[in-house]
Amino acid sequence: MSPRPSRRALIGAAALTPALGLAAWRRPEGAPLDPPTMTTVATLADAARAQGRYYGAAVRAEQLRENAGLRAAVLRDCQVLTPEIHLKWNSLEWRKGEFNFAPVDDLLAFSQRHGMEVRGHTLLWDQGTPGWARQDMLQRRDWSLMSGHLERVLKRYAPRITDWDVINEPIDTEAGAAGLRRNVFHQAFGPTYIERVLEEARAHAPQAHLVINDYGFEYDNPVDQARRKAIVALARRLRASGAPLDGIGVQAHLDLSKGPLAVEGLRDMTRRLIDEGLEVTITELDVKESSFHGSAAARDQKVADETRRYLETMLAFPQVRGVVTWGLSDRFSWLSEPPQRLHADAPLNRGLPYDADYRPKAMHHALSEALRLTA
C-alpha cells in the first residue's frame, strides 16, 4: 500500500453535507403516513463515511449549474465528484494549443466551496485523445507530446486533485496484444507506455493516488473471465517492475442482460489485486437495464438487487476505498444517450440512484445499506 496519507482518512475527516436522516422527519398528527421522500433517506456520504469510505458521482459542471435538483442531490450525497467528460485530453485541447480548462475549474470551485474532493478522470484514454495528437503520436512516435500533456494537466490540477485515473481502459483480451489494448499509445510507444506514464505522473504528483481504470470484470462469461485475469497480470507486472501504481479502478458498468454476477470471480480478482498491495476503487457504477419491461418499480427493484449483490461482494474488502456512480440521476446518464439509447422515444434507462425527477429510488437505498456494511 502507498506510504502517502490514506485518502479515506482525508475524505473521512472533511466536514461535508449535513445529515438528513430519519430523525429529520417528524410526522405531525393526522399527516399522511408516507414521509416526504427526500428526508427519509440517509445520505450516501454518511453511510460511506461511517465505514471509512467515500461515495461520489460523475457530473458535468454545466449540468450542476443548470439543474437545482441535481445540485441538491449532489450536495446531500456526494463527498467526491468525477468530471464525466471535461478532463479528457480531447476536451481540454480539442485543437492543438487551444485549451479549455473552464469546466474543470468550475467543478473544482464548486467542490471546494462544498468540501468535496474531485477524482481525476482521466489523464490518458485512447477514445479521449484528440485526433491531432493521435496522428502526431503515430507518425512521429515522439514522447514529448505525451510528456507535455501529462505535465500541463498535473501541474495545473495535481495540487487539488490527488486521485487520478492515470490510464483508462488499457486492457483488451480479444483483439489486444498480450492482454493489452492496441491503443494509439501502444502502437506508438509499445507496451511499456504504461510504466512511463505512471513514472511521469508520480514525478508531477508525488502525493497522488495513481490508478489504472478499466471495465468488464463482473460477469461469468469467457471475456470477463479473461479480463479479470488480464488486470491481475498487468497489476503484477507493474508492481514487480516497481512502477508507481497505487490502485485499480473497477468501472462496474453492470448490465442485467449479462446473467448473474460472477461473485467468486470478483472476489478472487479483488483479493489478488489487494495481495499486490493495491487498493481498489469502484469508479463508474451504474446498471444497464436489459428490456425495460415491467413497471418502473419492478425495474428499479432489479437495478437495486444487482447493485446490492455487487456491492456486498466488493465492499467485503476494506481495501475497496470508495464507490462512484457514473451519474446520479437518470436524467443525465450516458446510458440514456445515443448510441446506448437506440431512439429518441426509448424509455430512459433507470440505472442510477435518482430518477429523472431527482427522486431517490430503490438503488439509492441499496447503496446506502451496502455502504454501511462493515468489511
Binding residues for ligand G3I (CB under 6 A): 84-85, 88, 128, 168, 251, 284, 334
> What single-letter DSSP state applies at residue 14?
S
- Give the nearer residue to ligand G3I in terms of CB position, either 255 or 268: 255
Q: Which CB sits closer to ligand G3I, 284 or 355?
A: 284
Q: What is the 3-state secondary structure (H, E, C) of 262-300?
A: CHHHHHHHHHHHHHCCCEEEEEEEEEECCCCCCCHHHHH
The CA-based angle 97-101-105, given to 5 degrees, is 165
Specify the residue, 196 or 253, whose C-beta has the smaller distance to ligand G3I: 253
* Nearer CB in complex with ligand G3I: 168/368: 168
At 130 the three-state DSSP class reads coil
313 vs 307: CA distance, rounded Å: 10
Q: Which helix (H) or strand (E) holds 259?
A: none
DSSP 8-state code for residue 214: E
Residue 127 C-beta: closest distance to ligand G3I, Å: 6
**Please, what is the minimum distance in Å from the beta carbon of residue 43 to ligand G3I?**
24
Distance in Å, CB of 85 to ligand G3I, minimum:
5
Residues 256, 326, 146, 191, CA torsion sign: negative
Residue 339: asked if its preceding bond is cis (omega within 30°), the reply is yes
> In whole angstroms, how close is the CB of 284 to ligand G3I at the nearest point?
5
The Cα–Cα gap between 309 and 319 comes to 18
DSSP at 349:
P
Closest approach of ligand G3I to the CB of residue 84, in Å: 5
Q: CB 340 → ligand G3I: shortest distance, Å? A: 8
Rounded CA gap, 157 and 83, in Å? 13
Residue 68 to residue 46: CA distance in whole angstroms: 21
Shortest Cβ distance from residue 88 to ligand G3I (Å)?
5
Min dist. Cβ of residue 37 to ligand G3I (A):
27
Max Cα-Cα span within the chain: 75
- Judged by beta carbon, residue 46 or residue 218, the one nearer ligand G3I is 218
Is the CB of 251 or the CB of 319 nearer to ligand G3I? 251
47/352 with CB nearer ligand G3I: 352
SS3 call for 354: strand
Residue 294: C-alpha distances to residues 95, 241, 300, 302, 355 (Å): 46, 51, 10, 10, 16
Min CB(58)–ligand G3I separation in Å: 7
Residue number with CB closer to ligand G3I (85 or 233): 85
Parallel, antiparallel, or unpaired: how do β-strands 209-214 and 120-125 relate? unpaired
Q: Name the closest residue to ligand G3I (Cβ).
A: 334
Calpha distance 352→232 (Å, rounded): 28
180 close to 174: Cβ distance less than 8 angstroms: no
The rounded distance, in Å, linking the Cα atoms of 345 and 230 is 39
- Choose between 54 and 334: whose C-beta lies nearer to ligand G3I: 334
Q: How far apart are CA 183 and CA 171, in angstroms?
A: 10
- Taking the least distance from each CB to ligand G3I, the nearer of 42 and 335 is 335
CB of 49 to ligand G3I, least distance (A): 26
